[in-house]
């Protein structure tokens, strides 16, 4: 039976666990940012949800680098994407990192397939050691009630044992309110998905809201490494309080990230629109990309002046 703890108790317990042992520092949390945005999330899929070719992944990774974005976060191992991204980084001349994702859908078979593909990609590609900067096991698993905290912690420990020889540290991604003490204890680092849009704030306040949420969470962890694994702004869909989806508001947030939040380590969600996803309650889930699903421009200026 899963027991829900009051947020105040969770906060106190998180502080205790984080202070009980020295925080580990992984390459993912110390990787330098590029000349524009620190990092970007990436799903190497075509607009119909099918797997991209190596050639198209090469184009995407080259585009990120050309726009000053050198850190990439993934969510899964499907489509042999880690292998493809590592190859694409090498083709682009290196100087980039990728955080490997292990998708947790709640099934043991799915998990074993993900981990097997991860370890195969790490062992078979000699370039992986230079470009893979860490592993994130699951994305909002507790938020979506796909697994208990103790079960997720066991998965984190399992992946840690399998990638230790590669010098990689392992964490998991949740919303700021769903970091259960069990996963905090098991993780080498934490990844917080923070979206001001869902906080119902105006686009002009998004940068300040992001920093406030991040600093509030960080203050409860007493030095445990934490990065922002997702943040962004949708360009279409329904308004959420004062948060209005539009290209203009995404541009405003991109400007704020570079000019007001330059000290934060964050991955902008998302590289491309995702028409293969369900639209979601507010009809925004398909519309978070900096670029259109087909790779064409939305008119977002990535290289802003502060």
Q: Which residues pair with 190 in a beta bridge?
A: 172, 226
The set of residues, in sequence order, having a beta carbon less than 8 Å from that of 199 and lying 6+ positions away, is: 209, 213, 243
User: Mean of the pLDDT values across residues 31-43?
Assistant: 87
The lowest-confidence range among 40-49, 79-88, 174-183, 215-224 is 215-224
| Cis amide leading into 270 (omega within 30) | yes
**Residues 258 and 38 sit within 8 Å (Cβ to Cβ):** no
Rounded-to-integer distance, Cα 70 and Cα 249, Å:
24
pLDDT band at 4 (very low <50, low <70, confident <90, very high): very low
Q: What is residue 236's predicted lDDT score, i.e. its pLDDT? A: 98
Single out the catalytic residue among 83, 108, 140, 164. Answer: 140
213-222: list long-range contacts, CB under 8 Å, 24+ apart. 213/176, 214/176, 214/264, 216/176, 217/176, 217/179, 217/192, 220/11, 220/14, 220/15, 220/18, 221/14, 221/15, 221/18, 221/184, 221/190, 222/15, 222/18, 222/19
Give me the DSSP letters along 262-288: TTS-EEES-SB--TTS--TTTT-TT--
Question: Of all residues in the chain, what percent carry a pLDDT higher than 70?
Answer: 90
Residue with tokens 């686009």: 203
b/e for 228-262, b at 16 or more Cβ within 10 A?
bbbbbbbbebeebeebbbeeebbbbbbebbbeebe
**Residues 288 and 274 sit within 8 Å (Cβ to Cβ):** yes
Rg of the chain (C-alpha set):
18
Give me the DSSP letters along 288-301: --SB-TTS-B-S--
pLDDT tops 90 at residue 224: no
pLDDT tops 50 at residue 22: no
For residue 165, what is the DSSP state? G
Rounded-to-integer distance, Cα 138 and Cα 294, Å:
27
Joined together, the tokens standing for residue 64 give: 């990120």
Per-residue pLDDT reduced to its tens digit, 243-278: 999 999 999 999 999 999 888 999 999 999 999 999
Ranges of beta strands (E only) in the chain are 39-41, 71-73, 97-102, 132-139, 170-174, 189-193, 226-231, 266-268
Is residue 108 part of the annotated active site? The answer reads: no
**Residue from 107, 265, 103 nearest 191 by CA:** 265
Q: Taking all residues of the chain, what is their mean pLDDT, rounded to a whole number?
A: 90
Q: Which residues pair with 231 in a beta bridge?
A: 268
Give the SS3 label for residue 190.
Answer: strand
Per-residue pLDDT reduced to its tens digit, 161-217: 999 999 999 999 999 999 999 999 999 999 999 999 999 999 999 999 999 999 999
Pairing outcome for strands 226-231 and 170-174: unpaired
Per-residue pLDDT reduced to its tens digit, 117-176: 999 999 999 999 899 999 999 999 999 999 999 999 999 999 999 999 999 999 999 999
Q: What is residue 223's predicted lDDT score, i.e. its pLDDT? A: 79
Rounded-to-integer distance, Cα 195 and Cα 198, Å:
6
The lowest-confidence range among 15-24, 84-93, 220-229, 292-301 is 15-24
Single out the catalytic residue among 108, 114, 230, 260. Answer: 230
Give the SS3 label for residue 24.
Answer: coil
* 20, burial (CB in 10 Å: exposed 0-12, middle 13-18, buried 19+): exposed
Is residue 260 part of the annotated active site? The answer reads: no
């Amino acid at each position: 039976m899963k027991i829900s703890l009051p947020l105040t108790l969770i906060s106190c317990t998180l502080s205790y666990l984080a202070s009980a042992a020295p925080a580990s520092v992984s390459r993912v949390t110390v990787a330098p940012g590029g000349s524009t945005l620190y990092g970007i999330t990436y799903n190497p899929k075509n607009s119909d949800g099918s797997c991209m070719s190596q050639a198209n992944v090469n184009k995407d990774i080259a585009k990120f680098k050309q726009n000053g974005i050198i850190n990439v976060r993934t969510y899964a191992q499907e489509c042999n994407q880690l292998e493809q991204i590592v190859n694409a980084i090498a083709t682009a001349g290196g100087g980039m990192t990728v955080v490997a994702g292990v998708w947790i859908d709640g099934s043991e078979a799915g998990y074993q397939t993900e981990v097997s593909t991860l370890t195969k990609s790490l062992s078979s590609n000699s370039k992986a050691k230079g470009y893979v900067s860490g592993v994130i096991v699951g994305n909002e698993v507790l938020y979506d009630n796909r697994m208990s905290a103790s079960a997720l912690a066991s998965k984190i420990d399992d992946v840690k044992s399998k990638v230790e020889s590669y010098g990689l540290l392992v964490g998991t991604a949740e919303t700021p309110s769903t970091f259960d003490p069990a996963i905090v204890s098991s993780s080498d680092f934490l990844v917080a998905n923070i979206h001001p849009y869902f906080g119902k704030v105006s686009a002009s306040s998004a940068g300040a809201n992001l920093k406030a949420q991040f600093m509030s969470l960080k203050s409860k962890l007493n030095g445990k490494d934490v990065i922002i694994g997702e943040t962004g702004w949708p360009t279409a869909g329904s308004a959420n309080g004062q948060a209005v989806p539009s290209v203009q508001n995404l541009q405003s947030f991109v400007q704020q990230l570079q000019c007001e939040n330059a000290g934060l380590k964050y991955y902008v969600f998302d590289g491309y629109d995702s028409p293969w996803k369900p639209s979601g309650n507010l009809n925004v889930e398909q519309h978070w990309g900096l670029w259109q699903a087909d790779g064409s421009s939305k008119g977002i200026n990535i290289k802003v002046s502060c």
